[in-house]
Amino acid sequence: MVDQVNSVGVVGLGTMGAGIVEVFARSGITVIGADSTPELAERGRGFLEKSTRRALDRGKLAEADRDALLGRASFTHQLSDLADVDLVVEAVPEKLELKRQVFTRLDGIVGPGAVLATNTSSLSVTEIAAATSRPERVVGMHFFNPAPVLKLVEVIRTVVADDAAVEAVRDLAVRLGKKPVVVGDQAGFIANALLFGYLNRAIAMLQERFATREDIDAAMTVGAGLPMGPFTLADLVGLDVALEISEVMFAHHRDPLHAPHPLLQQLVTAGRAGRKSGQGFYTYDRPGSGTVVADQLTPAEPDAQLPDSLVVLGQGAGADELARLLPAQDLRPLDLDAVGDGEAVDADLVLVADTGAPLGAVAARVGRPESVVGVRLHGPTKRGRLAELVRGVLTSEESLAAARSLLRTADLVPVVSGDRAGRIVDGLVHPYLNDAAKMVEAHYAGPDDIDTAMTAGCGYPVGPIAQLDQVGLEHALSVERAIYAETRQPGLAPAPLLQQLVTVGRGFRTDG
Ligand code: 3HC
């Protein structure tokens, strides 16, 4: 068994494999990148040269260091060139049979002490290991895209894995400057299991026209503080990869919430694989680019038609804050309880400070339901301050356009959703928080590893368990109950652990 890994091979030089080669070469480790043809091997070299050229141009890397880095990496189309390495990381496409074939071949090539690692996103490491004569030396080593930037490495320990092999991979990840988290072999591991349920829910929202792709992405970046919205992220990861992972998650959990949405399947069938193909949920200026260009789904900018008259309905902090932010002369704050059934509120626009309750019930009492728009303000993040607008079933397009324009004048970022529990932000965040609580409850991973996975693997500002403690478990439970009551989806039922912690007045890491 190798004590320390000094030379590595990386098999498969797509987006992830090429990024992993760069991570090793940057850390002073000799690396051989391998792909199936001379052209693909050369393409791998091209990725490394381009990425390090960019770093050089941006003053992040000295010329001499770049030369040394490139000198540590070589490329081949012959797997037999990996005979002397201490460890191989496989990063070929997410097809179990393909991965098993690669492992069988590698098993016959590398020395008996070498460790074979797979960068699989969600496939069973155990099944891959079983294709070799050394299953105890097969470990998952799962990097996150872009591999040179994101710090998480999930180290997957199968039931037959040797402690020494797991430790060798964990130590190597530390030497790479990464944050390793060791977990068992379960579909999606920690991060993808939490991420892909969320992405799938976002796709469902889009498919059901609950909100637009732009508004959902803005809600999650501006409102929830995430580095990317779900559609930008899915395009980065690759829609084909997202589809494969969702399929594996569904096959493992049999939860309809993981079943890939028809929209995702159709986009993949149509060849829209995301950034790499130039089109995914968005359209890009060229394949591989992250620069979005307008397409037929790009919303037209609404005319900046400000309302002639405005009423803000509601009471409490949300209504007070709206009243403070909007131009004072337009305000007639009213107590919601003072509005009688069907009593007309005579205004072009009636903004209702959103409590999360169905807007329809309020609109019915106002008398001019077409002018009623719900508004929920979120706390500011570094990207601005989000205002979620709620469209009731009778709300007119003119009222929504007027509300958008008005809120923009107050430097808010407005997004529009339908009238459903959780709206966009809570509707996506809380099921994810609930899934994290269930993961703790199932003893798959502890709070620290879960929080590390989402902050270091997906760039989230806070991990889900810490976030649950921050928002308060009682509040989280009430939002999750409302979402569950509306959808009756078993997978959205609040985690019993949350209910128990609320009952005893404790948080995950706090006393109350
Ligand atoms: N390769 C190398 N470096 C890159 C890069 C890439 N592909 N993309 C960005 N960077 C570097 C930039 O050079 C820059 O470096 P610097 O700070 O030293 O100048 C830094 O990252 C920040 O880049 P930008 O300023 O261009 O852009 P952002 O600040 O918006 O960050 C991001 C870009 C790092 C991609 C950030 O948006 C992010 O973290 N997004 C979340 C991505 C995510 O969730 N990934 C996980 C997906 S799931 C997965 O991979 C698992 C798999 O199994 C599917």
Percent of the chain with pLDDT over 70: 95
Ligand 1 site, residue 226, Cβ cutoff 6 A: no
pLDDT over threshold 80, residue 411: yes
Q: What pLDDT does 345 receive? A: 78
Going from the Cα of 283 to the center of ligand 1, the distance in angstroms, rounded, reads: 19
Residue 372 above 70 pLDDT?
yes
Tell me, using a 6 A CB cutoff, whether residue 458 lines ligand 1.
yes
pLDDT in tens, 68-77: 999 999 999 9
pLDDT at 307 over 90: no
Q: Count other Cβ atoms within 10 Å, centred on residue 285.
A: 11
Ligand 1 near 456 CB (within 6 A): no
| Helix%, strand%, coil% for the chain, nearest 5 | 50, 15, 35
Contacts with 465 (C-beta within 8 Å, 6 or more apart), sequence order: 436, 437, 440, 447, 450, 451, 508, 509
Cα separation of 115 and 135, whole Å?
10
The answer for 391, left when phi > 0, alpha when psi is -120 to 50, beta otherwise, is: beta
Q: Whose CA is nearest to atom 36 of ligand 1?
A: 227
Work out which ligand 1 atom sits closest to the CA atom of 60: 18
Out of 50, 149, 183, 245, mutate this one to test ligand 1's pocket (max ligand atoms within 8 Å of CB): namely 149
490 with 434: CB under 8 angstroms?
A: no
Q: Is the CB of 164 under 6 A from ligand 1?
A: no
Contact 194, 464 (CB under 8 A): yes
pLDDT value for 433: 98
210-241 pLDDT, tens digit each: 999 999 999 999 999 999 999 999 999 999 99
Report whether residue 70 contacts ligand 1, using a CB cutoff of 6 Å: no
**Backbone torsions φ then ψ of 10, nearest 5 degrees:** -125, 125
pLDDT at 2: 61
Distance from the alpha carbon of residue 227 to the mean position of ligand 1, in angstroms: 9
Mean pLDDT, residues 38-54 taken together: 96
Supply the angle between the helices 425-441 and 496-503 in degrees, to the nearest 10.
Answer: 90
Check: CB of residue 117 under 8 Å from CB of residue 125.
Answer: no
The mean pLDDT of 367-394, rounded to a whole number, is: 94
- Supply the residue whose CA is at minimum distance from atom 39 of ligand 1: 459
What is the pLDDT averaged over residues 424-429? Answer: 98
Question: Is the pLDDT reported for residue 331 higher than 70?
Answer: no
pLDDT at 497: 98
The pLDDT assigned to 278 comes to 98
Q: Average per-residue pLDDT in the chain?
A: 94
| pLDDT at position 507 | 96
C-alpha dist (Å) from residue 168 to 3, 79, 154, 288: 7, 22, 13, 34
Q: How far is the CA of 76 from the centre of ligand 1 (A)?
A: 27
Q: Which residues are catalytic?
A: 121, 142, 154, 192
Q: What is the pLDDT of residue 315?
A: 82
Cα pseudo-dihedral 54, 56, 58, 59, rounded to 10: 170
pLDDT of res. 348: 87
Taking the centre of ligand 1 as the mean of its atom positions, its distance from the CA of residue 150, in whole angstroms, is: 7
pLDDT bracket for residue 357 (50, 70, 90)? confident
Collect all residues with Cβ–Cβ distance below 8 Å to 434 and sequence separation of at least 6: 476, 480, 492, 494, 495, 498
**Atom 53 of ligand 1: nearest residue by CA position:** 121
pLDDT digits (tens, 9 = 90+) for 280-298: 999 999 999 999 999 999 9
Q: What is the pLDDT of residues 90-132, one digit of tens each?
A: 999 999 999 999 999 999 999 999 999 999 998 999 999 999 9
Q: At what angle do helices 239-253 and 230-237 cross, to 10 degrees?
A: 100
**In this predicted structure, what is the pLDDT of residue 468?**
98
Q: Which of 429, 401, 426, 427 is nearest to 414 (CA)?
A: 401
pLDDT tens column, 465-499: 999 999 999 999 999 999 999 999 999 999 999 99
Distance CA 251, CA 244 (A): 11
187 close to ligand 1 (CB < 6 Angstrom): no
The predicted structure's pLDDT at residue 188: 95
340 vs 457, higher pLDDT: 457
10 Å Cβ neighbour count for 271? Answer: 11
CA-nearest of 274, 273, 1 to 136 is 1
Q: 248-275 pLDDT, tens per residue?
A: 999 998 999 999 999 999 999 999 999 9
DSSP per residue, 242-279:
HHHHHHHHHHHH--GGGSPPHHHHHHHHTT--BGGGTB
Residue nearest to atom 46 of ligand 1 (CA): 458
Q: Give nearest CA residue, ligand 1 atom 35.
A: 146
pLDDT in tens, 74-95: 999 999 999 999 999 999 999 9
Q: Is the CB of 237 under 6 A from ligand 1?
A: yes
Ligand 1 in reach of 121 Cβ (< 6 A) = yes
**Encoded tokens for 169:** 């991979």
Ligand 1 atom with the shortest distance to the CA of 119: 53
Q: What is the DSSP string of 401-446?
A: HHHHHHHHHTT-EEEEE-S-TTTTHHHHHHHHHHHHHHHHHTTSS-
pLDDT at 3: 63
Distance 201 CA to ligand 1 centre (A): 23
* Ligand 1 pocket residue status of 228, Cβ below 6 Å: yes
Cα–Cα distance for residue pair 5/210, rounded to 1 Å: 50
Tell whether the model's pLDDT for residue 512 goes beyond 60.
no
Provide φ and ψ at 324, rounded to 5°.
-70, -35
pLDDT band at residue 310, thresholds of 50, 70 and 90?
A: confident
